[in-house]
Structure 1
């Protein structure tokens, strides 16, 4: 309940809007109750980020493997759901820029998702009778995907608006469809080699 209230505040006002007394009022509890559960504002923020990272992983793993491999479009939509609509990209950026990211962006935190992606890529290569991809190549591809989604979640509408593409939902949908096609072409080119 506390995390949900904090997440709503994050979506409306960004990381600066995470104020314990306001979150307590939103959740219908006392300020000391938040301190009891999380220790401090920093503890609450860390719990929110860890929850967000778990959601990103779950969204990635939810449809992998799918009938369509690689399911770039599905993966992008699942990532965007958590990164943009739930404000996790803003929270991660804030933590990283403030120097606090090392507590939550720990080594290998996203590796299980990348390993699942790699297993799908191995199955696809075997099915198509071609050389299997190296794990490092998949880790790079997963890093690329995370950076793209997080970056677009933070800057996409502003950048598209400055390019004359608009910044609304339609512009975002068109960009994401285009991005999915680009990534699928990259994957199919890799498959051809």
Structure 2
């Protein structure tokens, strides 16, 4: 097996003692300082700042209107237009979840007057938000479009038990969603 030796570049004295990099960083900092003192700092209006600095004043101003369309926040379950559960408890989201944050206990939902046949649904559905990596694979794999990643980013639990979202909490976060639901399609 042969190898090709790689020649290392020769650094000057300024590069070796990092003076050049320190000078560049200092120039950037001074430029921000001058702009802040003149009241012309970047994103002053968008961040709700006073013009001194570029930091968002967090409790009063939030990122909600600045989040991009592709932002992946906390996962949540959604209901259909008529309030019925969309989840058919197929467990695909549980199987595809890389950190194994989703736990589903499948079962049969009680029949009511609006549907003649018994429906499958989750008896228990839990997502451990401390393990979730917000990859979005659960949303992609769901055949009934029952799980979505919301724009929610303020999800700091106080205890480990608060970090586990149960079925009721997930439906509360998700709300209702319009559109075709395959399991209610009479022609399927």
Q: The TM-score by the shorter chain falls in which range?
A: under 0.3
Higher helix share: 1
Larger-gyration structure (1/2): 2
**Larger RCO (alpha carbons 8 Å, 6+ apart):** 2
Q: TM-score, normalised by structure 1?
A: 0.23
Q: TM-score, normalised by structure 2?
A: 0.23
Higher strand share: 2
